[in-house]
Structure 1
């Protein structure tokens, strides 16, 4: 197997879909601006600093999904894709994914953001395989809880290895494995692949990439 792994937020996207989803709901009046905007900004700063409590964040991010019927959420997401996500997808990002796909690599988007937010984005990129944090569903409706290991930091490595094992494969047996990411939070997985690539990296990842001789590129 030849793998091309892509982080999503601030890598394939020139922005953060998790953050933008909450801002979108605030803008629609679904979430109270005074209560939620400061929390959303605080969580985003914690993520960038590498101090994010993923379970506290997921409680914040997933609980609103449980308050609305799936049909309404899906309608909002279509609006969200058009107004917030498509403007964050650059031609460079599309070409990068297409180049790996055309080369016969197995393309996977691997992201800490939940599957509800990210599945339509992966589809927009033409990527069939998505490893994302899994929101719990009962009878097609969200409960506000998470299922299994969040796909975050060390969890990305665990989730990828489990995904590969289900296909009778191992990461260390891949002919080659690329991982594109912007964040030092993804260092755990970047260290596991044969071709780590820093994409529009944060300051800490840029420092590490330069020290280790990893490629640095921009999709902006």
Structure 2
């Protein structure tokens, strides 16, 4: 069994979908620029520095989902895909996914960004399995809370283990595994797979990857 995992933001995408979603809502006038833009930038810098409090961030990121109907959110997301996401999908990223699709038994995107934002993006890549942070829903509408373990840092391993179990698999079922990521936050999972690959990595991950002899590639 060969498993291929892709981080999404700044890996398959030449940008961050979480950050861009908040910026999109600000540009649409849905969120107040003065209140939200500085916080959005601050959380993004914390993420890049490896100091992000995921629960504080999710409180910021998921609350706007609870203020609007799913129908309205879906309409905004269609516009968001066209204006913000498709322009940052690099051809090399699509080529990498297509290359692994020929041989992989299982492929998944595994991301800290919530599944509302990322599910249509995974579909656009032709990747049908997504492990993402899950926003809580009641009667089809978002509550503004997180459901279960956020898919972040060690939480990605927890969520991956749960996903494999649902498929009747364990790590011992996996003969080869790949994980492509740009971020120091993904070191726990990169250290778990047999083929870790640093993609356009931040400085911390680049240094670590070079010391470990991991491949370092660019999809830009």
Q: Show structure 1 runs of 5+ residues with no match.
A: none
Query: 1: distance between equivalents of 2:105 and 2:215?
Result: 19
> 1:170 offset after TM fit, Å?
1.4
The 5-angstrom pairing of residues 1-220 of structure 1 reads: 1-220=1-220
The worse-fitting range, judged by mean Cα deviation, of 167-176 and 121-130 is 167-176
1:106-160 C-alpha deviation (Å, 9 max, x unpaired): 1100000000000000000000100000001111110000000000000000100
Q: What secondary structure does 1:214 align onto?
A: coil
Q: How many residues align?
A: 220
Query: 2: distance between equivalents of 1:87 and 1:214?
Result: 29
Query: 2: distance between equivalents of 1:118 and 1:75?
Result: 15
Query: 2: distance between equivalents of 1:42 and 1:104?
Result: 38
User: CA RMSD of the aligned region, Å?
Assistant: 0.7
Q: Is the 8 A contact 1:112 1:152 kept in 2?
A: yes
Query: 1: distance between equivalents of 2:171 and 2:187?
Result: 16
Q: Is the 8 A contact 1:177 1:194 kept in 2?
A: yes
Structure 1 outlier segments of 4+, above 6 Å: none
The worse-fitting range, judged by mean Cα deviation, of 94-103 and 38-47 is 94-103
Query: 2: distance between equivalents of 1:69 and 1:214?
Result: 45
Q: TM-score, normalised by structure 1?
A: 0.99
Q: Is the 8 A contact 1:171 1:193 kept in 2?
A: no
Q: Is the 8 A contact 1:178 1:194 kept in 2?
A: yes
